[in-house]
Structure 1
Amino acid sequence: MRTRGPSVLGAFVAASAIVLTGCSFGSSATASGSEDVIRFATLPLTDDPTAETPVDVIAALLEAETEYTVEVTDVPNYSAVIEAIRAGHEDIGIMSGFPSALAVNTGEVDSLIAWSGGDDPVSTCLVLDSSPLRTLTDITPDTTVAFADPASSSGYFMPVHMLYEAGLEMGDDYEVLISGGHDRSFLALRNGQADVACTATIFPSLAGRGDPMFPFEVGETRSLGESIPMPVSTSVLANPGMGDAKRQALVEALPKVFSVENKEALGLYGEGIGVGVDPIIEPDASVFQPYVDIAAVAGVDISDLE
């Protein structure tokens, strides 16, 4: 079963505002609703309601492995997923590293499973091939850089850190555009609203495929630079108030669902599955600690978020 939240149409709030939003909750609510249903909050990968997405594949695989009914709810952004889980409205959600770190550091959201980020760069900053910008150091205070979501690892925190390492301070050395999604950053780049679009390194591989998530042909864009790798690529977050039986079913099922055998079927959600790399089951908060230092570059302190 799938329900849909509203689409994101405008700019998102700054990263610091997201942290404050997270702090507005009290203690984590006990999961409500039927204990024989797994409630799965996710971000829509496309605005096309008829499109088949990897989320539907995940739900089907989870149902097969757990024998629970899985209800999927699309919500508009990363922080909304975290808040829904934290408040007990949803049981689980799939997050990249930074929003996972933000959520886990509240002490009110758990990580059931996480995957290491590997050794490859996670983010890249793209320009149109016709752009006069050749390297990151060509960016000036008049350059507009589009980021996906201020709680996104690959679409915000990692590229902000990359630009910082190149000597570029956010807000001083370039203009910031929060687009609301990776695909919207690409539209901003195509339409001239942004000079640079910072995103995940996986997206340029979609060039020339007619994929709405990356509406460019091969050679239409090029990279100005790539980020460092992420210590954690992906995590499945959970509300600690769910029943023990449901939690245990998920702990046992998730490594089977997110397996090398299912990698192709999972599409973008399978990118974090490394061959020969075992997932971290119920990781400790210390696993996410490296993100705290990187987040500080973006002016966000998640080390003692309450």
Structure 2
Amino acid sequence: MRMSAPLAACALAAASALALASCTTSSSGTTSDDDVIRFATLPLTDDPSVETPVDAMQELLEQETGMQVEITDVPNYSAVIEAIRAGHEDIGIMSGFPSALAVNTGEVDSLVAWPGTDEPVSTCLVLDDSPLQSLADITPETTIAFADPASSSGFFMPTHMLHEAGLTAGEDFQELFSGGHDRSFIALQEGQADVACTSTIFPTMAGQGDPMFPFDEGETRSIGESIGMPISLTFLGSQSMSAEKREALLAAIPAVFSDENRDVLGLYMEAMPEGLEPIVEPDRELFQPFVDIAAIADVDISDLE
């Protein structure tokens, strides 16, 4: 079962028992809560005509766990973290920085994590005819679009990159939070932003007619790339889920999100490096580099409350 966006917004916005009671619907009259895995995801695209791998992911998880999987689309990374932290959702899939945000609360667990690589995570794009040739050309009048304040590739890593280039938001450039990677590209396309900082995955989609990256080859170019990340992706889990459900997920997640299912799961597998084994129940210390990188970029995630 997949919950609608208005239902998800209702359940998450208030973050209270009263809101949860008023917004949640039962998927089956005979299915207990312990038999349902509640999975919070971010929509891959705003285009309802585009096929996404959500249904395939749901089916594979149900096959591996033997439980019903209920997927809820939520608006942003912070909403996913809060939903899991409050016990409204059981799991969510996150990149490195929002995972560090969650783990550092001490109230959310990392169930399974995939190691990162030394390859750049983020790139800052301009239109091909832009006068900007490098980060050094950015001025206080330059508007840079970021996906989300809790996005690894769409905010934290490019912010670190810009910081290392001696650039500070509000002083050396203006920042625009678009609400999603695809929306950053729209802002760039329509002239609302001069630069769009995003994941290095998206430029590889050029010329494919994918609404997530609405450019042809040669229409954009990069003026800077970030460093890599120690953790590429994490499945976060609620500490309030049952032991049975947790054990089922610890076994199922690595089996489902494997190279064998890479083509079927599409974008969900893009950030998982091929040939690297996931880490089951990783230690909290593995997320410390994200805290260090954030500190360099003047973003403190170590004591989120």
Q: Which amino acid aligns with 1:5?
A: A
Who is 1:244 aligned against?
243
Who is 1:117 aligned against?
116
The residue correspondences of 1:1-306 to structure 2 (distance < 5 A) are 1-6=1-6, 34-306=33-305
Q: Which amino acid aligns with 2:91?
A: I
C-alpha separation in 1, matches of 2:118 and 2:44: 26
SS of the counterpart of 1:35?
Answer: helix
C-alpha root-mean-square deviation of aligned residues, in Å? 2.0
Higher mean alpha-carbon deviation, 171-180 vs 44-53, is at 44-53
Q: Do the aligned partners of 2:47 and 2:211 also contact (CA within 8 Å) in 1?
A: no
SS of the counterpart of 1:236?
Answer: strand
Q: Do the aligned partners of 1:126 and 1:224 also contact (CA within 8 Å) in 2?
A: yes
Offset of residue 6 of structure 1: 4.9
SS of the counterpart of 1:56?
Answer: helix
Whichever structure has more helix as a proportion of its residues is 2
Offset of residue 267 of structure 1: 1.3
C-alpha separation in 2, matches of 1:245 and 1:192: 51
Offset of residue 130 of structure 1: 0.3
Q: Which amino acid aligns with 2:202?
A: F
Offset of residue 59 of structure 1: 1.0
Alpha-carbon displacement from aligned partner over 1:43-77 (angstroms, at most 9, x marks no partner): 01111334321222211110111111100000000
Q: Do the aligned partners of 2:146 and 2:181 also contact (CA within 8 Å) in 1?
A: yes
Offset of residue 231 of structure 1: 0.8
SS of the counterpart of 1:61?
Answer: helix
C-alpha separation in 1, matches of 2:246 and 2:39: 13
C-alpha separation in 2, matches of 1:99 and 1:203: 19
TM-score, scaled relative to structure 1: 0.90
Offset of residue 42 of structure 1: 0.4
Q: 1:130 to 1:6 in 2, by over 3 A?
A: farther
SS of the counterpart of 1:265?
Answer: helix
Q: Do the aligned partners of 2:39 and 2:89 also contact (CA within 8 Å) in 1?
A: yes
Alpha-carbon displacement from aligned partner over 1:74-113 (angstroms, at most 9, x marks no partner): 0000000001111111000000000000000000000100
Alpha-carbon displacement from aligned partner over 1:2-61 (angstroms, at most 9, x marks no partner): 112259xxxxxxxxxxxxx9xx99xxx9xx961000000000111133432122221111
SS of the counterpart of 1:53?
Answer: coil
TM-score, scaled relative to structure 2: 0.90
Who is 1:10 aligned against?
none
SS of the counterpart of 2:157?
Answer: helix
C-alpha separation in 2, matches of 1:136 and 1:6: 40
Q: Do the aligned partners of 1:207 and 1:214 also contact (CA within 8 Å) in 2?
A: yes
Alpha-carbon displacement from aligned partner over 1:123-146 (angstroms, at most 9, x marks no partner): 000000000000111101110000
Who is 2:10 aligned against?
none
Who is 1:16 aligned against?
none
Offset of residue 195 of structure 1: 0.2
C-alpha separation in 2, matches of 1:56 and 1:297: 40
> Which blocks of at least 5 consecutive residues in structure 1 are unaligned?
8-20
Q: Which amino acid aligns with 2:272?
A: I
> Which blocks of at least 5 consecutive residues in structure 2 are unaligned?
8-12, 21-25, 27-31
Alpha-carbon displacement from aligned partner over 1:175-202 (angstroms, at most 9, x marks no partner): 0000000000000000000000000000
C-alpha separation in 1, matches of 2:184 and 2:78: 18
Q: Do the aligned partners of 1:58 and 1:266 also contact (CA within 8 Å) in 2?
A: yes
Q: Do the aligned partners of 2:45 and 2:211 also contact (CA within 8 Å) in 1?
A: yes
C-alpha separation in 2, matches of 1:163 and 1:282: 33
Who is 2:23 aligned against?
none
SS of the counterpart of 1:238?
Answer: strand
